[in-house]
Structure formats: C-alpha cells, structure tokens
C-alpha cells in the first residue's frame, strides 16, 4: 500500500544510502532472497530514484526467529558496522564539499 509513497520519495530524495528493514522492504530493493544472503553485506541497487547502496537489516519486531539462528546475529553486527562505515564516509564527503565551496 505504501509503494507509491516510497517511489515518490526515492524520486525526490535520490538517496545515496538506503537501509531497508525487514523482508518486504529488502525485497523491494533486492528481490526475494533469503535474509542470510542479504544481511551483513552491501548491495548496489537500481530503483526509480536512481541507484543506491543498500545495507539491509532484519525486522526488529522479534516475531521472527531468524536472528536466533547460528551466525545471524553476526550478520546483523556486520551490517551495523557497514552502516557506520558508510555514514562516516558520507559525512567526510559532505565536509570536503563544504570546504571546497567556501
């Protein structure tokens, strides 16, 4: 039901980084793949707003037992590290642009 809103936002914002949370959101950007094949990794995805780096996370509701399966908590931890690294890289890029514009 929210797909049109999401697509309007993607067209408007054209994000560099997208962090989809949950299987439905991940599926929109990466297709129907097992969480263990997507979480803990960076992916480049093309969408209506262009192309973005996608770093997926599982849904935090606790309704799924996925997180409790062997190795899956490590995948989430790796995803969080990747998100932190990418945010720091983006922050450095913004600071460099501001310095060169001044």
> pLDDT-based confidence at 91, cuts 50/70/90?
very high
Q: Among residues 99, 87, 88, which one has the least CA distance to residue 15? A: 87
pLDDT at site 14: 97
Encoded tokens for 47? 């969408």
> pLDDT-based confidence at 99, cuts 50/70/90?
confident
CA atoms within 13 Å, Cβ hemisphere of 69: 8
Rounded to two decimals, the pTM is 0.91
pLDDT at site 102: 78
pLDDT mean over 45-51: 97
């Amino acid at each position: 039901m929210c797909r049109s809103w999401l697509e309007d936002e993607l067209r408007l914002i054209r994000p560099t980084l997208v962090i989809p949370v949950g299987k439905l959101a991940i599926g929109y950007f990466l297709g129907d793949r097992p969480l263990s094949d997507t979480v803990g990794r960076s992916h480049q995805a093309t969408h209506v707003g262009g192309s973005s780096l996608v770093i997926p996370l599982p849904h935090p509701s606790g309704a799924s037992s996925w997180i409790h399966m062997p190795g899956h908590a490590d995948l989430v931890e790796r995803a969080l590290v990747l998100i932190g690294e990418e945010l720091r890289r983006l922050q450095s890029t913004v600071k460099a642009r501001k310095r060169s514009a001044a």
